[in-house]
Chains A and B, each alone.
Chain A
Amino acid sequence: MNVPRHWREQVRRYRLLGSKCCDCEEISFPYRLVCPKCRSRKCEDYALIGKGKILSFTDINSPPQEHKYNMPYAVALIGLVEGPIITAQITDARAEELEIGMDVEMVTRKIMEYNEDGIICYGYKFRPIVKYAHP
């Protein structure tokens, strides 16, 4: 069930924490211990705001077994406004509703659960932006 493994990553998944290079300011997601741009070892946590655009997407209907209860679902490559590209599920929308260039926002959802008696893993997904309409 890999409890420590999920626990170790969960805050980054809940809050979309990547890293920022203290030397060249390159922002990365997932977080890096060595800056991929300048190889500096000084990287610090950096919270991404969770907004971006769909760069590519697909629809999954033959998922890995631990995701079966959630199928069908869409996954996408999302270009975050800060620069990094992230791989994530798209929720509250089917693949047919998506297009390249669509604006999406981060939301925390159930990613998978270990049957009825195991831990539940929460993390980021993205969805078409919810409008703030006010009466």
Chain B
Amino acid sequence: MNDNVAVIGVGLGNVGERWDKSLRELAIESIWMAFEDSGIDNVDALYVGNMSSGPFIEQENIGTLIADFAGLGSIPAVKIEAACGSGGAAFIEGYMAIKSGMYDCVLVTGVEKMTDVLPSKTTSILANASDRDYEAFHGVSFVALNALVMRRYMHEFNVKREDLSIFPVISHKNAPFSKHAMYRKELTHQTVINSPMIADPLTLMDCAPICDGSASVILCSEKKAREFTDAPIIVSGVGLATDTLGVHDRKQMTTLSAAVEASRKAYKMAGVTPKDIDIAEIHDAFSIMSALSLEDLGFVKKGEAAKMGLEGQYYIGGQLPINLYGGLKARGHPVGATGVYQIGELVYSLRGDGRVDAEKGLAENIGGSGSTVSVCVLERGD
């Protein structure tokens, strides 16, 4: 198909400790919202972004589960898994399904139900994204892997922990506006700096929270999209890349090579450079990941992301506003759903929510400790 792929519907369920909602209920909630937003209620296929329904709720085969309970009929429905990058990866699968001409209209749903198990079990499940036999076996939690990268980054680039603490502040700055966010309040820099140490040098406030959530988007061709709207949001470039599974095998421990590679592909496809990007949704699961992402996506020189952050360049009104709906830190990080939330939030911003006038936006979703990264460039089609 030569036509562009467009996003015509977005549904972002509330993120939080949704004690009273099951995985299927969370998914259906966001699917109904996306249907309502798009004006259609039939799709040809469902791609589910989910990391760990098996360990979290002892349920696999959730493509079928959701298609069945959402009343989608006998459509193809599969789960796409790339750890915390599952949502972004599922979105790219959906993109390819439309782009190939195979389907007219697909639904991409990210969903994760994390709060049915105790926190220590969650720690163990999230560690499944690392090398089970050679990282997690040794009691290295996912937080710890990020702490290891952070200390190395601080050492190599002479950056202080307190400087990196600016990133949660930036994400939280936009949170009060974000109706679906888990924590709709601002944070002071001091609060982040002084919060309890989780895995030195990472503090509690450097880490995105454990939560439940589901986000859905509907994709179709630009031509079909224009039957519904004059201003569709076009997916102009996508890129997905992997790096070594283990942090210890990285050629450069403080570079997200998969982000470099995925963004290179996405920029090329979209015919843009980092300078053309007006806004970005960055995978700020940990403060260090914000810095590495901004640098490796080409927005700032290595070692200088925190400095730019401290200068205020990542707030609305700055050079590159990021995480306009709170990012992973304030919106929450329902792992497999996150990538789809990012796309939905980018669509909201590009459609115009009264805060920024952006033409092109980027979403970056990381799986594992940088072992899989998806980058999507979206732009206004008006």
Which residues of A are interface residues toward B (Cβ below 8 A)? 5, 9, 30, 36, 55-68, 70, 73, 75-77, 84-89, 95, 100, 111-112, 121, 123, 125
Contacts and interface: CB of A to CB of B under 8 A. Distances in A.
A87 B246 contact: yes
A64 B128 CA distance: 11
Interface of B: 118-121, 123-124, 127, 131, 133-141, 143-145, 147-149, 151-152, 155, 197-202, 244, 246-249, 253
20 contacts: A36-B244, A56-B149, A60-B139, A61-B198, A62-B123, A62-B198, A63-B120, A63-B141, A64-B136, A64-B141, A65-B118, A65-B120, A75-B144, A77-B247, A77-B248, A87-B131, A87-B246, A100-B152, A100-B155, A112-B137
B144 A60 contact: yes
Contacts of A36: 244, 249
A125 B140 CA distance: 12
A56 B199 CA distance: 12
Contacts of A100: 151-152, 155
A57 B148 contact: yes
A3 to B, nearest CB: 14
Contact of B139 (A30, A84, A85, A89): A89
Contact of A87 (B140, B143, B198): B140
Nearest to A78: B248
Nearest to B250: A85
A109 to B, nearest CB: 10
A62 B148 CA distance: 15
Nearest to B149: A56
A30, A111, A123 pick with most chain B CB within 10 angstroms: A30
A123 B137 contact: yes
A112 B127 CA distance: 15
Contact of B248 (A9, A61, A85): A85
Given A85-B249, A88-B138, A62 B143 contact: yes
Given A73-B139, A75-B138, A87-B247, A55 B123 contact: no
A56 B200 contact: no
Contacts of B135: 87
A84 to B, nearest CB: 7
A127 to B, nearest CB: 14
Contacts of A77: 148, 152, 247-248, 253
A8 B242 CA distance: 27
A75 B140 contact: yes
A78 to B, nearest CB: 8
A18 B148 CA distance: 22
A88 B248 CA distance: 10
Given A56-B253, A64-B127, A76 B148 contact: yes
